[in-house]
Amino acid sequence: MGKGALAMRTILMGVLLATMAPLLSQAGAPSPVPAVADAVARSRLEGPFELHSRVYPGTVRRYWVYVPAGYDPARAPNLLLFHDGQRAINPTGSLRIPAVLDTLIGRGEIPQTLGVFVTPGNRSEHYPEDLGMQNPDHRVEEYDALSDDYSRMTLHELLPAVAQRWRFSNDPKRRAIGGTSSGAIAAWTVAWRHPDAFGGVISFIGSYTSIGLQLGPDGQPRAYGGDLYPALIRKSPIRPLRIFLQDGIDDLDNEHGNWFLANQQMLKSLQWANAHADAQKLPGPRYDVAYRWTEGGHSDADGGAALPDVLRWIWWEQRN
């Protein structure tokens, strides 16, 4: 298959094909993305707020909260948690998630949704004002580790801090977590470990590679990296998760691994787990998977272009 054909290929599995026809044109290409200028809802972006962590002592992170127009605390909205929050909210960036939410919520294409956009931690008393869009210095330790530490920080520190001021749903089917690059694997780790907390995962250019691998003096692993996930998926019980994978054929290839190959391995493992469970007539959930391969590299651009479609798909049963 040539690059041109691959760039146009969008595969949506399972019930999506039967129920989400508006997501695809007749040719199989993505439906037009709503322009930011079309936003029809007014909202607030609160923050930044600082969060110091007991799980990661000596670090601080920033977060922002998107409060949708018409927010009613008596009716808990959906929750979207997105990593690398400084880039997720950047009005001139590729993602511009608050503007996308304005458009989709205002048009009734997704439910009322509270957005939480959080940066990785930084080793400092206060978050540096001059970091801008750069990565804080504790990102790898938080995002690329396979331990439960980041999940504990998210579920027991960040979300309770948000909940002090804003309500959001406790139903995992109404809660999605996402990110790009290492922020994507962090999203997967939280949902994989806690499917009772998040039922949807948005993964753009996910770093399912060996970034988190730590070798001891004897050369043996002290901690494993995200390249272990395809094997874990094949050998572990299926979680009730809906995951969207996006990557480009020109993504990174370096000492940590090949990103496009790693994302394909994730997809194949999720598909195999479903097929194996079906063949064995095993009870229980199946992974709901969609993916989009593009010609892009290690950039948020293709994920940003896909984001409106992805959010519609993540919550397609809840469309107004």
In order along its 320 residues, the chain shows pLDDT tens digits of 444 444 333 334 333 433 343 333 222 333 444 444 444 448 999 999 999 999 999 999 999 999 999 999 999 999 999 999 999 999 999 999 999 999 999 999 999 999 999 999 999 999 988 888 888 878 999 999 999 999 999 999 999 999 999 999 999 999 999 999 999 999 999 999 999 999 999 999 999 999 999 999 999 999 999 999 999 999 999 999 999 999 999 999 999 999 999 999 999 999 999 999 999 999 999 999 999 999 999 999 999 999 999 999 999 999 76
pLDDT of residue 137: 74
Q: Which residues contact 61 (CB under 8 A, 6 or more apart)?
A: 50, 51, 53, 118, 119, 120, 121, 122, 127, 136
Q: How far apart are CA 160 and CA 158, in angstroms?
A: 6
Which of 126, 237, 136, 250 is closest to 182 using CA atoms?
136
How many angstroms from the chain centroid is the CA of residue 147?
18
pLDDT of residue 133: 87
Residue that the structure tokens 């210095």 belong to: 137
Q: Buried b / exposed e across 270-300, counting CB within 10 Å, b at 16+?
A: beebbeebeeeeeeeebbbbbbbbbebbbbb
CA-based Rg of the chain, rounded to a whole angstrom?
A: 19
Q: Are 116 and 63 in contact (CB under 8 A)?
A: yes
Query: What six digits make up the tokens of 48?
Result: 């930044």
Q: Are 115 and 83 in contact (CB under 8 A)?
A: no
Please name each of the domains of the chain with its CATH number: 3-318 (3.40.50.1820)
